[in-house]
Amino acid sequence: MLIDAEHTDRHLQRASTAAGPPWTAGDRLSCEPVFDRMPSSRPTERFRVLGIDPGLTRCGYAVVDSGRAGFVRAVSLGVIRTPATDPLPQRLAALRLEFTALLAEFEPDAVAVEQVFFQVNVRTAMSVGQASGLALAEAALAGCEVVQYTPNQVKDAVAGWGGADKEQVQKMVQVRLGLTALPKPADAADAAALALCHLAMAPMQRRVAAGRQA
């Protein structure tokens, strides 16, 4: 189910910040965009991360920019859906096309994908793994830095506690990105948390890598 225009307009007004530019919904038919910033709002100096919360039925995505002095802002956030009634190959092909479109449109410097170690439901674990593999492969082919984080790592980096629940994570994402409403749906909020996690972890990772090369 796609978000209807009236609902999207109301949500965009709630999510925008007073100092920010207007928001506009995306146009990819299999996506449910929560918001997209206008292209003119892209900063000249930025580090851009695409967060991916992988899933076959629902796949959250979020594009977050960081600038000087730790400034961060959300550029785009939403959910990619594939119909459960479609054959698996078609669903994977549709998901791959959406990943390719996101990478081409937003040109991220890095892509952060959730790494899941355990799933009670084996079928769910397989579909998440398939979606994750597509995201990792497409990001690598696009020349992006590709990283993975576990849910506990994301919660610890964003909420300060690895045992934080989804609402606590959503609240911290809202605060960090300066949104006036909790980011929803949860898949999109999780993707934004992944992007924020990498922005928090990247400086240390670069220092470690530099130390190993020295």
Query: Does the active-site annotation cover 4?
Result: no
Q: Is the dihedral of CA 36, 102, 198, 115 positive or negative?
A: positive
Query: Does the active-site annotation cover 53?
Result: yes
Strands 145-149 and 110-114 come out as parallel
Catalytic residue among 98, 114, 138, 190: 114
DSSP secondary structure, the chain, as one string: -PPPHHHHHHHHHHHS-TTSPPEE----TTEEEEEEE-GGG--SS-EEEEEEE--SSEEEEEEEEE-GGG-EEEEEEEEEE--TTS-HHHHHHHHHHHHHHHHHHH--SEEEEE-----SSHHHHHHHHHHHHHHHHHHHHTT-EEEEE-HHHHHHHHHS-TT--HHHHHHHHHHHHT-SS---SHHHHHHHHHHHHHHHHHHHHHHHHHHHH-
Query: Does the active-site annotation cover 165?
Result: no
Two tokens at 52?
């991916």
Catalytic residue among 32, 65, 156, 187: 187
Catalytic residue among 36, 53, 138, 190: 53
Two tokens at 144?
């992006």
Catalytic sites, residue numbers: 53, 114, 187
